[in-house]
């Protein structure tokens, strides 16, 4: 039995494409952003957030050297920051989509992305809202 995940669906309001350029984003923690913060932000074209994350990461690294923070505390601060990035990453993507002209089309619960897409488009074809 697989775990159910929640996805938010975003579509371009003005798109003529059959799928309206739909983007589904999973709710919750983003492991890619947690592990590869700056690279993940750059991959998703979140330029502003990539700069912010890079700046804060550099400041944390330098603070350990300049202030003389012990290695355990320095590591704990780095881990805490990585956790914050992981928890907020998908919200950053949602805001980016809104600025690009996407609107929220609903919420879909499914065990994986492929099933979430199938459920959303099946409901959309039947004329029912996603959630």
* DSSP codes of every residue in the chain: -PPPEEEEEEEETT--STTTT-EEEE-S--HHHHHSHHHHHHHTT-HHHHHHHHHHHHHHHHHHHHT---HHHHHHHHHHHHHHHHHHHHHHHHHHHHHTTEEEEEEEEESSHHHHHHHHHHHHHHT----
Give the pLDDT of residue 86.
Answer: 97
86 lies in some domain: yes
Mean pLDDT in the chain? Answer: 89
Q: pTM higher than 0.75 for the full model?
A: yes
Among 34-38, 61-65, 102-106, the range scoring the smallest mean pLDDT is 61-65
Give the pLDDT of residue 128.
Answer: 60
Q: Which domain holds residue 44?
A: 5-126
- Give me the number of domains the chain comprises: 1
131 lies in some domain: no
């Amino acid at each position: 039995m697989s775990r159910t995940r929640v996805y938010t669906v975003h579509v371009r309001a003005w798109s003529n494409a059959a799928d309206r350029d739909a983007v589904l984003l999973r709710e919750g923690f983003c492991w890619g952003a947690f592990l590869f913060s700056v690279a993940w932000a750059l991959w998703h074209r979140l330029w502003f957030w990539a700069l912010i994350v890079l700046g804060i990461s550099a400041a944390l690294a330098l603070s350990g050297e300049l202030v003389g923070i012990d290695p355990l505390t320095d590591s704990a601060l780095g881990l805490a920051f990585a956790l914050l990035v992981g928890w907020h990453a998908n919200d950053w993507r949602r805001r980016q989509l809104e600025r690009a002209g996407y609107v929220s089309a609903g919420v879909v619960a499914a065990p994986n992305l492929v099933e979430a897409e199938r459920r959303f488009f099946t409901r959309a074809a039947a004329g029912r809202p996603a959630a």
